[in-house]
Amino acid sequence: MSGETAELLRQRMAALEPSSLVIEDESHRHAGHAGAKEGGHYKITIVAAAFAGQNTVTRHKAVYAAAGDLMRGRIHALGIRALSPDEV
């Protein structure tokens, strides 16, 4: 299911019009962790013009909003690195 979840996450992030998006499934690193039973652990690096002039909290809120209901089941933990194009 993790590959399917990563693809759904990729589709959801399209709403932010990223110029670059890397999704890493880190679920295997959390085997045995209580949350591993409920959903996967992912790390994303996303670059989008939408993040220009925004602080980290606002950027993360935008990513969580785009992920939507994935955060209530398929994803237990999401590490986010959100950058504007001029920060790359």
Pairing of strands 75-83, 20-25: unpaired
Q: Do 43 and 7 form a contact (C-beta atoms < 8 A)? A: no
Q: How far apart are CA 40 and CA 21, in angstroms?
A: 18
Identify the bridge partners of residue 35 per DSSP, sorted by sequence position: none
pLDDT, tens digit (0-9, with 9 covering 90-100), for 36-87: 556 788 999 999 999 999 999 999 999 999 999 999 888 988 999 999 999 9
pTM attached to this predicted model: 0.86
